[in-house]
């Protein structure tokens, strides 16, 4: 460090009272068409306490729900957006909050309307009980898994967490303490509190409509403002509460039996043959606590692919995003909230792979989900 480092720079004041504004920023190497509604205010640093973390959790709930609602719209036919999210961050003495979507080329006006209406829907009606319970289950499960696997954390991840806490001037706390803090916060958090905190944060006239893109015409700003004002005149309905769904794939007929059970002692691998012809290889390790990895190999992979096609690339997207016959991928996200389950699909030269990761308490559900993807994958337009 220099002997005379000099004075801290004057960062200036954060302007307020500017009202609604709009602007376009272009960069010829920019690949996307990002639309933002953002607000800026003076950042007031807070000590990293339990109360501070509990208050942050409420806003995180609202932002996650907003992102999930947009993800559903992204998958709709002829969607005007390809991505959406909400967040907050601070730079020195400025705190910035934003909601954003990435507009499909040529659909800027429609994308602005989607952003404005979904933002206003959340401000007006808040989140549904099913959205709240889903988010609560996902958050709690993440902290529970982190605490359960604390003893087998990788050194690099632990070092990064320590470094991040120093840079953020926050307290480095163990996964067990983090779980305790979150559990206490979730015990008193309600959908009404989430709605109130989100609406309070965005209770300001100082909102800017920003468009970041590769190139724009001279009247793009006027087009943006007109689309935004037109959207504000449209009524928004309360979000649907999808709380009555149940997972359809729990019955696969009469259970089979084990017809062969062998132990390969030199590799410590147990090998089973089931009555339906399925072969199972199992091995126990101490690499990662409370974690079970699964891989199911079926079919003949790229060997069955027609020549001179890229069908494998297309098939991977369809299988990983198509959900199941009775449930879309969005439905599965809701149904599996709070469960450590999931299925991924890939294609090797001589076989197809369905893979997943779970924990002991969710193993049966993971196997049901994996089997469902094999026997009834969702093919949707």
Hey, what are 12's tokens? 């200036």
Query: Do 188 and 155 form a contact (C-beta atoms < 8 A)?
Result: no
Spatial separation of the C-alpha atoms in residues 352 and 335, rounded to whole Å: 26
> Once rounded to an integer, what is the mean pLDDT over residues 185-204?
96
61-90 pLDDT, tens digit per residue, is 999 999 999 999 998 889 999 999 999 998
Q: Each residue of 3-41: pLDDT tens digit?
A: 888 887 777 778 788 899 999 999 999 999 999 999 999
**Res 381: pLDDT:** 65
The answer to which of 60-64, 78-82, 259-263, 287-291 has the lowest mean pLDDT is 287-291
Task: Report pLDDT digits (tens) over 96-150.
Answer: 999 999 999 999 999 999 999 999 999 999 999 999 999 999 999 999 999 988 8
d(CA 225, CA 213): 16
| pLDDT value of position 310 | 81
Question: Among candidates 250, 300, 256, 255, which has minimal Cα distance to 277?
Answer: 256
pLDDT for residue 1: 65
Looking at per-residue pLDDT, the higher value among 302 and 4 belongs to 302
Residues ≥6 apart with Cβ < 8 Å to 57 = 139, 182, 185, 186, 189
> How high is the pLDDT of residue 316?
85
C-alpha distances in angstroms, 336 versus 57, 159, 167, 322, 353?
21, 31, 35, 16, 21
Residue 318 pLDDT exceeds 90: no
The SS3 assignment for 255 reads coil
Q: Considering the chain, what is the average pLDDT of its residues?
A: 92
Say what the alpha-carbon torsion angle 274, 278, 281, 287 is, to the nearest 10 degrees: -110
């Amino acid at each position: 460090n220099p002997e005379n480092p000099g004075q801290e720079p004057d960062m200036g004041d954060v302007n307020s009272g500017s009202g609604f504004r709009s602007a376009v920023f272009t960069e010829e190497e920019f690949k996307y068409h990002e639309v933002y509604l953002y607000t800026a205010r003076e950042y007031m640093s807070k000590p990293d306490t339990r109360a501070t973390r509990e208050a942050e959790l409420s806003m995180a709930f609202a932002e996650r729900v907003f992102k999930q609602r947009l993800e559903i719209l992204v998958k709709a036919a002829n969607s005007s957006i390809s991505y959406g999210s909400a967040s907050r961050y601070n730079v020195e003495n400025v705190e910035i909050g934003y909601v954003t979507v990435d507009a499909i080329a040529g659909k800027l006006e429609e994308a602005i309307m989607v952003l404005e209406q979904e933002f206003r829907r959340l401000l007006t009606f808040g989140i549904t009980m099913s959205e709240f319970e889903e988010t609560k289950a996902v958050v709690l499960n993440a902290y529970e898994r982190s605490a359960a696997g604390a003893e087998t954390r990788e050194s690099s991840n632990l070092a990064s967490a320590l470094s991040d806490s120093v840079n953020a001037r926050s307290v480095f706390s163990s996964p067990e303490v983090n779980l305790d803090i979150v559990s206490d916060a979730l015990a008193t958090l309600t959908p009404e509190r989430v709605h109130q905190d989100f609406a309070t944060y965005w209770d300001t006239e100082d909102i800017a409509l920003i468009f970041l893109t590769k190139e724009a015409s001279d009247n793009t700003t006027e087009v943006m403002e007109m689309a935004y004002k037109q959207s504000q005149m449209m009524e928004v309905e309360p979000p649907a509460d999808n709380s009555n769904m149940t997972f359809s794939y729990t019955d696969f007929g009469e259970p089979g039996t084990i017809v062969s059970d062998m132990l390969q002692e030199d590799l410590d691998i147990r090998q089973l043959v089931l009555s339906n012809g399925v072969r199972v290889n199992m091995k126990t390790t101490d690499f990662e606590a409370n974690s079970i990895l699964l891989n199911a190999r079926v079919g003949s992979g790229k060997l069955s692919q027609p020549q001179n096609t890229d069908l494998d690339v297309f098939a991977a997207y369809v299988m990983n995003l198509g959900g199941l016959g009775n449930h879309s991928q969005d439905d599965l996200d809701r149904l599996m909230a709070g469960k450590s389950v999931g299925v991924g699909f890939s294609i090797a030269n001589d076989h197809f792979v369905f893979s997943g990761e779970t924990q002991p308490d969710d193993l049966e559900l993971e196997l049901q989900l994996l089997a469902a993807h094999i026997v009834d994958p969702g093919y949707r337009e």
